[in-house]
Amino acid sequence: MTDLAHIRNFSIVAHIDHGKSTLADRLIQATNTVPDRDMKEQLLDAMDIERERGITIKANTVRIEYDALDGQSYVLNLIDTPGHVDFAYEVSRSMRAVEGSLLVVDSTQGVEAQTLANVYQAIDADHEIVPVFNKIDLPASDISRVAEQVEDVIGIDASGAIAVSAKTGEGIREVLEAIVHRLPAPTGDADAPLKAMLVDSWYDPYLGVVVLVRVMDGKMKKNDRVMFMQNGTVHQIDKIGVFRPKMQDVKELGPGEIGFITASIKQVRDTKVGDTITHEKKGCEKPLPGFNPSIPVVFCGLFPVDSAEFEDLRDAIEKLALNDASFSYEMETSAALGFGFRCGFLGLLHLEVVRDRLEREYDIELITTAPSVVYNIYMKDGTMQELHNPADMPDLTYVDHVEEPRIKATIMVPDEFLGDVLKLCQDRRGIQLDLTYAGSRAMVVYDLPLNEVVFDFYDRLKSVTKGYASFDYSIEGYRQDNLVKMQILVNDEPVDALSMMVHRDRAEMRGRAMCEKLKDLIPRHMFKIPIQAAIGGKVIARETLSALRKDVTAKCYGGDATRKKKLLEKQKAGKKKMRQFGKVEIPQEAFISALKMDG
């Protein structure tokens, strides 16, 4: 067990692409944690999808040992966190496990929106923060301007900021010294009853469920019987260790240390993120305060292409939900698609990542329905039913009225972008409730329909404000509005996954935009394909995808023109028949792309 005074736990936080994972690579390399022959870029981003997209999705942990200039040897536990807003929940959980943060700011770009969001999470968690200005090897780097921004916008002292280049390795030794001397050591009592926080957990095909823990008080050893306090299950520890990025077994974990345990846990449901782990016999009395549950924003249906794979999908979703606490799911059925799951996500990037992970890691082909929210449908006979999927909308002759969920949205935005933000909210059927100023930033409060926010409201907000707006919301209840179900017909067949609820005044515009988009996204076939948007029996928009033409007259050399005519007539008749019986294949990407509404 390491002496508490010689442990430092810290996370690296920053906006997207400011160099968190590269800095983590250099720290690992500078302390010889991984031999040079095994070193690769973005070492901690282990998932294929992270390496492909070049983003961090899961917060990853590594333990490094550093011999400081004062002759002492220190153990550093580093957590590399994601930068995207869709994974902010990962960041907030990682913060609770450590005492300090390195705030990485790109010295060519300055402070950006997610820098603020992530740094506020660190301040909420009472962290000591060390600013690090990265990318000083680039000619556009301007350290004095960025230092000024950090002091003005975030309000933390930037006089002791460290200038580094994570690419070339310049300034890395100073960062290590700052971690050791400026970040606080953890506190904890080794003789108190065990109290450990479950920071994360994931499924390993060989070991069962692997649990990442941060020990607050007491000690954990192999063969200890431990209890998970939320649901009272007891397990015996089989394996205990730390990550050097690879798993390495240790004898015990003491206060202040971060490591993992496995305990032959078969049921994924037994490990809830934020739970407290203690000994079965002499346990601690009060659990640690857990994490606030995350609120899903986007709901959509996930169905297996082959309905026989439903059980595999259920298994895969359970294992994935263990690894991603901000993802929620429940079972649903659809007339056209069979059995599947209704899933909740924090945003569209989150949805795409979860879908890709299910397809890759568990080898299941999926159909994703249009993301939506839950509506209340009031029938003429006085009953009320919840509508989760627009495809299940009952016949309008029996419906009295429809209510949709509304949210109270708070948007913080610099003064110069205020006009664009107000216009965006008005376009989305928003009602302004309040407008106040805090310095040069405006705070706008709007009452918005959740259905208009679900899609790409956040993306549009970020683009009209160059990424500087921050957005927070709470659900306010339901209100009646003039909503109708819009169906998309491809080759006269309704496409279930693309039906959506829209406001009657905007239906035509949405329908037209949708048909135009699908025309570009659906590959051409050998026959003409009509793409229509309809409300009930009335078509409100139409596009026609022209047919591919095979040159059937290529083999005619000379001779009478009637030969060619005959072949063309024959082809025409064939295409007519094809259009009656031909099936149109809509690629999976078309579903998500068609739903992203550009302004």
Is 277 part of any known ligand binding site? no
Asked whether residue 246 carries a pLDDT value surpassing 60, the answer given is: yes
- Write the DSSP assignment of 35-56 as a string of letters: -GGG--TTTT--SHHHHHHT--
Residue 144 and residue 105 in one domain = yes
Asked whether residue 515 carries a pLDDT value surpassing 70, the answer given is: yes
Is 249 part of any known ligand binding site? no
Owner of token pair 């869709």: 86
Instruction: For residue 215, tell me if it sits in a domain.
Output: yes
Instruction: For residue 289, tell me if it sits in a domain.
Output: no
Confidence of residue 536 (pLDDT cuts 50, 70, 90): confident
Q: How far is CA 218 from the centre of its chain?
A: 35
Instruction: For residue 317, tell me if it sits in a domain.
Output: yes
Q: How far apart are CA 50 and CA 24, in angstroms?
A: 15
Which of 75-89, 180-194, 296-310, 328-342 has the least mean pLDDT?
Answer: 75-89
Average pLDDT over residues 273-278: 78
Q: Which CATH number does the domain housing residue 59 bear?
A: 3.40.50.300
Percent of the chain with pLDDT over 70: 82
Number of domains in the chain: 5
Percent of the chain with pLDDT over 90: 0
Owner of token pair 């109290």: 195
Asked whether residue 592 carries a pLDDT value surpassing 80, the answer given is: no
**What pLDDT is stored for residue 287 in this prediction?**
75
Is 115 part of any known ligand binding site? no
Is 292 part of any known ligand binding site? no
Q: How far apart are CA 379 and CA 502, in angstroms?
A: 19
Residue 155 and residue 32 in one domain = yes
* Residue 18 one-letter amino acid: H
Q: How far apart are CA 336 and CA 508, in angstroms?
A: 26
Which of 351-360, 452-461, 585-594 has the least mean pLDDT?
Answer: 585-594
Domain end (from 481, 515, 543): 481
Average pLDDT over residues 476-489: 84
Is 22 part of any known ligand binding site? yes
**What pLDDT is stored for residue 38 in this prediction?**
60
Give the pLDDT confidence of 40-57 residue by residue, as tens digits: 555 545 555 555 555 655
Instruction: For residue 13, tell me if it sits in a domain.
Output: yes
Q: Higher model confidence: residue 542 or residue 231?
A: 542
Instruction: For residue 439, tell me if it sits in a domain.
Output: yes
Q: Higher model confidence: residue 538 or residue 38?
A: 538
Residue 29 and residue 171 in one domain = yes
**What pLDDT is stored for residue 120 in this prediction?**
78
**Is the distance from CB of 288 to CB of 127 less than 8 angstroms?**
no
Q: What is the pTM of this model?
A: 0.65
Is 135 part of any known ligand binding site? yes
Q: How far apart are CA 147 and CA 134, in angstroms?
A: 12
Strands 128-134 and 7-13: unpaired
**What pLDDT is stored for residue 28 in this prediction?**
78
Distances (CA, A) of 361 to 78, 178, 310, 312: 26, 39, 16, 12
Give the pLDDT confidence of 139-160 residue by residue, as tens digits: 887 888 888 878 877 778 878 7
Residue 132 and residue 218 in one domain = no
Phi, psi (rounded to 5 degrees) for 335:
-60, -40
**What pLDDT is stored for residue 599 in this prediction?**
43
Distances (CA, A) of 217 to 53, 99, 220, 489, 537: 39, 15, 10, 61, 67
3-state secondary structure 233-282: EEEECCEEEEEECEEEECCEECCCCEEEEECCCCCHHHCCCCCEEEECCC
Residue 456 and residue 541 in one domain = no
Strands (E), 415-549: 431-438, 441-449, 470-481, 483-490, 493-494, 500-503, 529-535, 538-545
Q: Which CATH number does the domain housing residue 359 bear?
A: 3.30.70.870
Is 56 part of any known ligand binding site? no
Residue 164 and residue 16 in one domain = yes
**What pLDDT is stored for residue 352 in this prediction?**
80
Average pLDDT over residues 264-276: 72
Q: In which domain, by residue range, is 16 found?
A: 4-182
Asked whether residue 329 carries a pLDDT value surpassing 80, the answer given is: yes
Instruction: For residue 189, tell me if it sits in a domain.
Output: no
Give the pLDDT confidence of 423-452 residue by residue, as tens digits: 988 888 888 888 877 556 677 888 988 878
Give the pLDDT confidence of 364-389 residue by residue, as tens digits: 888 887 777 778 888 888 888 877 77
Domain end (from 159, 182, 205): 182
Is 20 part of any known ligand binding site? yes
Is 86 part of any known ligand binding site? no
In 167-196, which positions are buried (b, 16+ CB within 10 angstroms) versus exposed (e)? beeebbeebbebbbeebebbebeeeeebbb
* Residue 505 one-letter amino acid: D
Residue 263 and residue 313 in one domain = no
Share the mean pLDDT of the chain: 78
Q: Higher model confidence: residue 174 or residue 576?
A: 174
Residue 215 and residue 309 in one domain = no
Q: Which CATH number does the domain housing residue 512 bear?
A: 3.30.70.2570
Residue 135 and residue 107 in one domain = yes
**What pLDDT is stored for residue 169 in this prediction?**
79
Average pLDDT over residues 98-126: 78
* Residue 314 one-letter amino acid: R
Confidence of residue 598 (pLDDT cuts 50, 70, 90): very low
**What pLDDT is stored for residue 580 in this prediction?**
59
Average pLDDT over residues 64-86: 76
Q: Higher model confidence: residue 302 or residue 48?
A: 302
Q: Which CATH number does the domain housing residue 264 bear?
A: 2.40.30.10
Is 481 part of any known ligand binding site? no
* Number of other residues whose CB lies within 10 A of the CB of residue 492: 11
Answer positive or negative: Cα dihedral of 568, 569, 570, 572.
Answer: positive
Give the pLDDT confidence of 161-172 residue by residue, as tens digits: 888 887 887 888
Residue 59 and residue 149 in one domain = yes
Q: Please tell me whether residue 437 adopts helix, strand or coil conformation.
A: strand
Residue 49 and residue 173 in one domain = yes
Domain end (from 127, 148, 182): 182
Asked whether residue 565 carries a pLDDT value surpassing 60, the answer given is: yes
In the chain, DSSP finds a helix count (H) and a strand count (E) of 14, 31
Residue 245 and residue 107 in one domain = no
Indicate the Cα dihedral angle 268, 202, 348, 421, nearest 10°. Answer: 110
Instruction: For residue 190, tell me if it sits in a domain.
Output: no
Average pLDDT over residues 455-475: 76
Instruction: For residue 560, tell me if it sits in a domain.
Output: yes
